[in-house]
Amino acid sequence: MKRRVLVAISLTLLVSLVGIASCTKGNTTPMPCELTGNERAKVIEIALNTPEVREWLGKESKYKAKLVWVAINYENPEPYEYSWVRVFEYDEIAEAAELISEWTVVYPGVIIRFGEPWQFSVQVTIDLNTGKAVDVDMWPARR
């Protein structure tokens, strides 16, 4: 009886650890996971403190920030830093996860829209492991 209980506990622990490992963020296991409240706040804070966003905050006081997932493929980086980028709505985490490969990493990101009506957007892709922006895109492509 003790042995069965020990086996059941061991299997439960193993399944829990596999679940945690599958949600590990970073390049070793780049599986996107639902962000905690603190992680969401940190992603938005990092995005708001990038030079591109700070510049627009100085020009326009009205803005809206939206969390997204950004899949970046690094397979053929020449002549660019990456091959392609695809953006997913925050609730499309499963669709983003399907793209993961040895070449593709899925990061949390923020799209910040300035003005009312909308005049300009900045998309900031964040690596939570380093606490830095890995990519910044702007629309329309003017300053």
Rounded CA-CA distance 74/132 in Å is 18
Task: Dump pLDDT digits (tens) for 59-83.
Answer: 998 999 999 999 888 877 666 666 7
Q: What are the start-end ranges of the H helices in the chain?
A: 2-22, 37-48, 51-59, 93-97
Mean pLDDT of the chain: 78
Q: Where are the domains of the chain?
A: 26-139
Q: What is the pTM of this model?
A: 0.73
